[in-house]
Amino acid sequence: MKVGIVGMPNAGKSSLFNALTKAGAEAANYPFTTIEPNVAIVPVRDERLERVAALLHASEIVWDTIAFHDIAGLVKGASEGEGLGNKFLANIRETDAIVHVVRAHTDESILHSEGSVDPARDVDTIETELVYADLEQAERRVERVAKQAKSGDKEAAAEEAWLRTVVAALQEGRPVRGIPVPDAAPNALRNLSPLTAKPVLFVVNVDEGSDEIPAVIAEHAARQGAGVVALSTRLEAELAELDEEDAAAMRADLGVSESGLDRVSQGAFALLELNSFFTAGEGTIAQSWHLRNGLTAWHAAGQIHTDIQKGFVRAEVIAWDALLDAGGFAGARERGTLRLEGRDYVMRDGDVINVKFTP
Ligand SMILES: Nc1ncnc2c1ncn2[C@@H]1O[C@H](COP(=O)(O)OP(=O)(O)OP(=O)(O)O)[C@@H](O)[C@H]1O
Ligand SMILES: [Mg+2]
């Protein structure tokens, strides 16, 4: 899963990114934590898997990860190429979700490109740039698709009609999110990959020691079904430089709630309506995975390995807490809480699964 970080210049994007990168380096078990200078691979920690791993004396824990893409600040006019903004926006077109960093801290030593701290105005500026960028993209695409439609391509005709609705909405400043995709052109949304259709997590960059979300941002987020997390990105970046004990002591001193970064990564996952599931065995690797709500054991097998999916026979499944209650797989088998399920079993959040397959 990929997430793009957007926001005004100096909003705190790179501080957040650095904090995430450092946390990733500590915990990810990935040798390639920073695969590119502006891409950070961050583990999504989950206490449930930690407890399962402890119970089974797992050899190690492998976390599912999110890739965060840091881009330069978007000024007004970014979509017209100012400040290279458009190129940066193109970089995040392929992401699954957007983290929008909003400055709310009042540190006067940090310049604001608009001369004052005003979270609602800044959110509006960035959202307008995203709308413009999508508009430009949609106008270009509609021309191309219209040509295909003229040659009698039914799907192209449906896509063209959809694109015209999209262009009209964007011209009025409305996002693409929520505009229904026609059955006759099921790939229309993916072909355009509009920024304003992606789920959003607002990260409100607050003063140290605060975790208050400004009401205007909370209401704005609620209206568009977005998530909100408040933290000081500078503080998180500083804490990430400390070892775990010192960081915990400093958090306690400042009265800052634990794991601001975990809230960001978990918040990003929550946006996409993903379920977690786990694979684990006595003394082996305990691993976390994610799957869209409503998908089955067969899909879960495909996440683990295509060969395991191809050879799927059945799956042993148990809820993570039932496994803890039973004291392990042997106990669960005795109690009958370890179930055998077929390929159509709909996975539940927190399931531990062991797929039996023919190689
Ligand atoms: N909560 C905060 N309180 C005080 N200062 C902060 C806070 N968050 C970030 N800063 C400071 O603001 C400055 C800009 O932060 P940062 O580089 O993360 O912004 P950015 O959004 O990446 O900017 P750019 O758009 O230029 O890439 C840094 O000096 C950083 O230490
Ligand atoms: Mg930056």
190-236 confidence digits (pLDDT tens): 999 999 999 999 999 999 888 789 999 999 999 999 999 999 999 98
Pocket of ligand 1, beta carbon within 6 A:
7, 9-15, 72-73, 105, 107, 110, 205, 232-234
CA-nearest residue, atom 1 of ligand 1: 232
* pLDDT tens profile 35-75: 456 788 888 888 999 999 999 999 999 999 888 888 777 76
Q: Over 90: is that where the pLDDT of 241 sits?
A: no
DSSP state of 82: G
| CA of 103, nearest ligand number | 1
Q: What Å distances lie between residue 256 and 16, 185, 227, 238, CA to CA?
A: 16, 48, 20, 13
The predicted pLDDT at position 30 comes to 42
Phi-psi region of 318 (alpha: psi -120 to 50; beta: other; left: phi over 0): beta
State the complex-level ipTM: 0.98
Cα distances from 86 to residues 9, 68, 129, in angstroms, run 14, 18, 9
pLDDT at 326: 97
Give me the residue spans of the domains in the chain: 1-45+65-273, 294-357
Ligand 2: centre distance to CA 332 (Å):
50
CA–CA distance, 248 with 304 (Å, rounded to integer): 35
Alpha carbons 95 and 93: distance in angstroms, whole number: 6
User: In the prediction, which pLDDT does 264 show?
Assistant: 87
**Ligand 1 atom nearest residue 101's Cα:** 21
158 CA from centroid of ligand 1 (Å): 45
Q: Which residues of 90-122 are buried (b: 16+ CB within 10 A; e: fewer)?
A: ebbeebbbbbbbbbbbeeeeeeeeeeebbbeeb
Q: Are strands 65-70 and 2-7 parallel, antiparallel or unpaired?
A: parallel
Predicted TM-score (pTM) of the model is: 0.84
Q: Are 188 and 158 in contact (CB under 8 A)?
A: yes
- Residue 359 predicted with pLDDT over 60: yes
pLDDT-based confidence at residue 250 (cuts at 50, 70, 90): confident
DSSP element (H, E) containing 297: helix 297-304
Query: From CA 357, how far away is CA 308, in angstroms rounded?
Result: 6
- The protein residue whose alpha carbon is closest to atom 23 in ligand 1 is 10
Selected residue with higher pLDDT from 299 and 267: 299
- pLDDT 10s digits, 153-164: 999 999 999 999
Is residue 101 over pLDDT 90?
A: yes
Residue 39 to residue 186: CA distance in whole angstroms: 30
pLDDT at 261: 79
339-341 sheet: strands from edge to edge: 60-62, 285-292, 274-279, 351-357, 312-319, 339-341
The ligand 1 atom nearest the CA atom of 208: 1
| CATH 3.40.50.300 assigned to 1-45+65-273 | yes
Return the percentage of the chain with pLDDT > 90, whole number: 62
By most ligand atoms within 8 Å of CB, the mutation choice from 74, 100, 110, 264 for ligand 1 is 110
Which tens digits make up the pLDDT trace of 273-317? 889 999 999 999 999 999 989 999 999 999 999 999 999 999 999
Q: Which of 125-129, 130-134, 238-242, 258-262 has the lowest mean pLDDT?
A: 258-262
For the cut 50, the answer to whether the pLDDT of residue 32 exceeds it is no
Look up residue 336 and give its two tokens. 């009958």
Ligand with smallest separation from the Cα of 15: 1
Any known ligand binding at 280?
Answer: no
Nearest ligand to the C-alpha atom of residue 9: 1
Nearest Cα residue to atom 17 of ligand 1: 14
pLDDT of residue 294: 92
Cα pseudo-dihedral 117, 120, 125, 129, rounded to 10: 140
Least confident of 14-28, 205-219, 324-338: 14-28
Name the E strands within 115-241: 200-205, 227-231
Q: Tell me the CA–centroid distance for residue 56 and ligand 2, in Å.
A: 42
Confidence band of 252 (pLDDT split at 50, 70, 90): confident
Q: Which CATH number, 3.40.50.1000, 3.30.465.10, 3.10.20.30, 3.30.1490.20, labels domain 294-357?
A: 3.10.20.30
Is 18 annotated as belonging to a binding site? Answer: no
Q: Is the pLDDT of residue 81 over 80?
A: no
Please tell me the distance between residue 13's alpha carbon and the centre of ligand 2 in angstroms.
Answer: 5
pLDDT at 35: 46
Q: What is the mean pLDDT of the chain?
A: 88
Strand partners, 228: 202
Distance CA 176, CA 22 (A): 34
Ligand 1 atom closest to 207 (CA): 1
Match 């310049």 to its residue by tokens: 111
Q: What is the pLDDT of residue 9?
A: 85
